[in-house]
């Protein structure tokens, strides 16, 4: 019962953060559930509440999606996510988690210092960034952080940023969830109370988080996202060290 209550509470927080920053569900729930379930099963199980929360968030923000970014960066991210989800079953993730942590710390620091303003993705670079971010997400289970960090390289306003990140996240979910169900479906079903608690928390958090987004000034939005990315990178670095 204690695990279910904690899972619900973390899901609530994760859903709220994701509605503001465009990521956070996998970043918070995966480390929590990796303790009782193991990392690989946690990644697969969290994909269910992640998909549910992302679908609701997109339903609310769909008219703000930047379709140019979606059909370049987003498609590549979905393809990378599929490859990463397949590799999740066979590749050890400790070292990859450290690599991802370093990339997130770098991205967050560059945005806060203004260095990222010189970096803009377009054409081939957008496809490469999308593919790499999706692959890392499928492997490590924290696709949102690196995808959001990469999206900082596009000139998107607050609502378009979150909406586009959400649309891409749902594309990735649509290709990775069937893989997880095919490879670990029985194990995920056995954890239905945990998955249900996480999903309920995420959906409620998403409802309130979307309202909070509208109250964040445009000029503070990217700074807030950068701080969250930096914090995630540091947390993943600690987690990666423990996994080695």
- Answer for the pair 134, 147: CB distance below 8 angstroms, yes or no: yes
Residue 60: how many CB atoms within 10 A of its CB? 17
Q: Which of 88-97, 171-180, 206-215 has the lowest mean pLDDT?
A: 88-97
Q: Residue 117 above 60 pLDDT?
A: no
Look at the chain and count its residues. 244
CA distance 181 to 188: 8
Q: Residue 164 above 80 pLDDT?
A: yes
Query: How does residue 125 score in pLDDT terms, banded at 50, 70 and 90?
Result: low
Domain boundaries along the sequence of the chain: 2-243
Cα separation of the two ends of the chain: 31
What beta strand segments (E) does the chain contain? none
Q: Which of 116-120, 172-176, 201-205 has the lowest mean pLDDT?
A: 116-120
Mean pLDDT of the 146-168 span: 86
Query: How does residue 124 score in pLDDT terms, banded at 50, 70 and 90?
Result: low
């Amino acid at each position: 019962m204690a695990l279910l209550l904690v899972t619900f509470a973390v899901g609530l927080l994760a859903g709220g953060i994701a509605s503001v920053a465009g990521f956070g569900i996998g970043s918070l729930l995966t480390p929590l559930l990796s303790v009782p379930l193991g990392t690989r099963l946690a990644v697969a199980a969290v994909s269910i509440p992640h998909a549910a929360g992302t679908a609701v968030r997109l339903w609310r923000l769909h008219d703000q999606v930047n379709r140019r970014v979606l059909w370049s960066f987003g498609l590549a991210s979905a393809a990378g996510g599929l490859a990463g989800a397949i590799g999740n079953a066979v590749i050890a993730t400790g070292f990859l988690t450290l690599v991802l942590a370093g990339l997130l710390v770098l991205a967050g620091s560059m945005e806060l210092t203004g260095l990222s303003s010189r970096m803009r993705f377009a054409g081939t670079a957008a496809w490469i960034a999308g593919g790499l971010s999706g692959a890392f997400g499928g492997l490590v289970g924290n696709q949102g952080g690196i995808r959001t960090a990469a999206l900082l390289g596009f000139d998107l306003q607050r609502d378009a940023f979150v909406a586009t990140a959400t649309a891409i996240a749902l594309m990735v979910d649509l290709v990775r969830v069937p893989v997880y169900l095919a490879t670990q479906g029985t194990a995920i079903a056995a954890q239905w109370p945990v998955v249900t608690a996480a999903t309920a928390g995420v959906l409620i958090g998403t409802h309130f988080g979307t309202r909070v987004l509208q109250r964040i000034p445009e000029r503070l939005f990217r700074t807030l996202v950068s701080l969250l990315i930096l914090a995630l990178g540091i947390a993943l670095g600690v987690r990666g060290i423990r996994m080695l």
